[in-house]
A and B are shown apart, each in its own frame.
Chain A
Amino acid sequence: MKLRKVTAASAAVIALALTATACGEGAAEKDAKGGSEGGKGKITVGIKFDQPGLGQKTPQGYAGFDVDVAKYVAKELGYSEDQIEFKESKSQDRENMLSRGDVDFIAATYSINDEREKKVDFAGPYLLAHQDLLVRADDDSIKSAEDLNSKKLCSVTGSTSAQNVKQKLAPKAQLQEYPTYSACLTGLQNGAVDALTTDDSILAGYAAQDSHKGKFKLAGLELSNENYGIGVKEGSDLKAKINAALEKMVSDGSWEKAVEANFGPANYENEPAPKIGDIKK
């Protein structure tokens, strides 16, 4: 009986604390705008933070082809460079980030496919990449997809490239999966794996890094077509504007410049700028 006050009080505190920490349903005011949350005069863009050549966080800011495309598009949409807020968008989280409205658009090696098109809209494509292999510079043993079955491959856990290998290309190949591509390079360098497989645009970025020059090369197999698009929220009116911006980017030569600046050092033979809406299967 005497403990009743304490227990009642503690129960009340538990209830309070749980609601305060766990949900706080009372304050369920959902952001109805659907667009940016970052406040007025800002545009939020999802990019990768750990892919040199495409989207990489560096001490000097963000750099890479995706970043340049995003900056150009943002400029065409009427935002200056310091109004852009870059956010990391992990592969598995991209659709959700868009549908939640966390970001206005995503340019993060985001290849257009049917599954994703059900959930989000794509502007572009702005780059055609292919799944390829990064091998040691002295390794010439991989000439076609069939050679892969006896090889040890490495890729990012659950990525489309990894699933592609497992299900279609080389079901018998050994596949090591890591959360990030840079982990694969250690094994590739030491011979623990024979090839790192993902889009050639990503691989080129790694091959071009100072510490890797001369150590790795691309095998040059076009194992798949990856049409990089800019993801926007389903039904967003940004799609048309971004498409216009991308078209302009190609026609005024900025696209070529961005490719040169980011892929040039890697000797990456990029495909010509794709036409808007022209998705190569």
Chain B
Amino acid sequence: MSASVLYEAQGPRAKARNVIYTAVFLVAVAVLLWWVYTSLDEKGQLDWALWSPFFGSEAWTTYFLPGLKNTLLAAALSLVIALPLGAVLGIARLSDHAWVRVPATVVVEFFRAIPVLILMLFCREVYVAYTGVSSDSRPLYAVVTGLVLYNASVLAEVVRAGILSLPKGQSEAAMAIGLRKNQMMRMVLLPQAVTAMLPAIVSQIVVIVKDTALGGYMLAFPEMLSNATTASSYYGANIIACLTVAAIIFIVVNFALTSFASWLEKRLRRAKKSTGATLAPDGGVDQSGFGGATN
């Protein structure tokens, strides 16, 4: 990491001070971890019997892998549908025409305001009442629809912010060479905005993966977290162990996703299609600044 602009290059005294801070910090973390470890051990939560199921294949083939499959399936479907929908909604919010802009705004604001769980419950009832979707696939449909409605609205905001983040000169230049508005959007603005939006889109993917867990809670969608609970009742209520394993799987999957995305982002950036702007995960714009300090 290059030296940050927030502090001076460190001399010997600062370095010594850093060593002290580091040591104090390490000790504090170590004490905390030791306390957690010993207390868990004392309460028998680290007993081999509670953890041994995860080292056999049974627990994985019965509970975790099918659950993971469902989690990933629901997340992938939601993303594939929500991304284009979000892009369209986001562009529609930038439209010059009120009849396009206003409904898009209402849709986005409304679906962003409601908890996803309530959206999912709603979608299920809609499927029951108005469609012939079989009861086997209904939980998946309801979960995916709920996730799509919510995440499309969030992605719409990401897209909108991404386009707005581009320097004004880009659209002015595009107009000056006589491009139509749709050409400008398609050929000039969107390609540049995509790289700026990538980090935000990725963190939204992580949100989608995590939110599938809401489907298990009330809709009996057999995703990983609810399968982990089922496993815990079979293996003698080792719920802490089961949740830990589930959490680790979530971390690994999401970490793989984010790593892939940052690799992709670097590639796109090297292709020199961007202005160098990035969007922070929450839609904030990150244009210039302390590159070295942000890792």
Residues of A within 8 A of B (CB): 2-8, 10-11, 13-14, 17-18, 21-25, 27-31, 37-38, 44, 49-52, 56-59, 87-90, 92-93, 97, 100-103, 179-183, 185-186, 189-190, 206, 209-212
Contact = CB atoms under 8 A, between A and B. Distances in A.
Contact of B229 (A8, A25, A182, A206): A182
A93 B220 contact: yes
A64 to B, nearest CB: 11
B130 to A, nearest CB: 5
A152 to B, nearest CB: 17
Interface residues on B, range: 35 or more
B237 A185 contact: yes
B261 interface: no
Contact of A180 (B58, B84, B97, B229): B229
B239 A22 contact: no
B208 interface: no
Contact of A3 (B63, B95, B126): B95
B72 interface: no
Nearest to B236: A211
A155 to B, nearest CB: 14
A177 to B, nearest CB: 14
Nearest to B232: A182
B185 A6 contact: yes
Interface string B62-88: 110000000000000000010011001
B285 interface: no
Contacts of B238: 211
A204 B101 CA distance: 61
B92 A14 contact: yes
Contacts of B162: none
Nearest to A51: B233
Given A21-B148, A52-B234, A57-B230, A10 B136 contact: no
Nearest to B182: A6
A59 B130 contact: no
Nearest to B45: A186
B61 interface: yes
A52 B59 CA distance: 16
Given A21-B149, A23-B130, 6 more contacts: A6-B95, A7-B92, A59-B58, A90-B220, A97-B135, A211-B49
A211 B229 contact: no
A87 B134 CA distance: 13
B97 A7 contact: yes
Contacts of B107: 14, 18
Contacts of A11: 92, 99-100, 103
A17 B81 contact: yes
The 9 closest A-B CB pairs, nearest first, are A211-B236, A102-B135, A185-B237, A3-B181, A182-B237, A6-B182, A50-B233, A59-B58, A59-B62
B92 A183 contact: no
Contacts of B236: 209-212
Given A14-B104, A27-B131, A38 B136 contact: yes
B218 interface: yes
A5 B220 contact: no
B155 interface: no
B253 interface: no
5 contacts: A5-B182, A14-B104, A17-B88, A50-B234, A206-B237
Nearest to B97: A7
Interface string B26-57: 00000000000000000111000110000000
Contacts of B97: 3-4, 7
B132 A27 contact: yes
A10 B92 contact: yes
B234 A58 contact: yes
Given A25-B130, A90-B218, A90-B220, A6 B91 contact: yes
B135 A92 contact: no
A10 B149 contact: no
A17 B85 contact: yes
B185 A92 contact: no
A208 B12 CA distance: 65
Nearest to A209: B236
B180 interface: yes
Contacts of A7: 92, 95-97, 100
Contacts of A22: 123, 126, 145, 149
Contacts of A102: 135, 138
Contacts of B96: 3, 7
A113 B205 CA distance: 45
B134 A37 contact: yes
A29 B44 CA distance: 55
B283 interface: no
A209 B53 CA distance: 14
Contacts of A38: 134, 136
Nearest to B132: A29
Given A58-B62, A93-B220, A182-B233, A23 B149 contact: no
A183 B239 contact: yes
Contacts of A183: 229, 232, 237, 239
B128 interface: yes
